[in-house]
Amino acid sequence: MSSRRRRPYHLAKHCWATVLPPDQFYFPSGHTITAFAMAVSVAYFYPQCYGYLLFLAASIAVSRIILGMHFLSDVVVGALIGIGLGYASVCVCMKAIELSL
């Protein structure tokens, strides 16, 4: 699900973006997808950690923008996909538990 849009650091050089990604094109943010998918799925089983997990996921998303690796739209779409995948994984897990009983 990659696009040919160039990364932000190609448009405006950032003095702190010295680490080069493995490719030059990518949409949406894979880090953000993973962070939000994990946050949603773990928060379902540990609701007392919900706020901390969302804070960590949002911090990862913001770091991708600050480092010049992604645009805001990349991380927003990544967060939405991650939330959807996290919720889907919880549904699959709960259905599997229900069927095993």
DSSP result, 20-88? PPS-SB--S-HHHHHHHHHHHHHHHH-GGGHHHHHHHHHHHHHHHHHTTSS-HHHHHHHHHHHHHHHHH
Residue 17 lies in a domain: no
Q: What is the pTM of this model?
A: 0.78
Expressed as residue numbers, the domain containing 57 is: 28-100
The number of distinct structural domains making up the chain is 1
Structure confidence by residue, pLDDT tens digits, 30-82: 899 999 999 999 999 999 999 999 999 999 999 988 887 888 888 999 999 99
Residue 9 lies in a domain: no
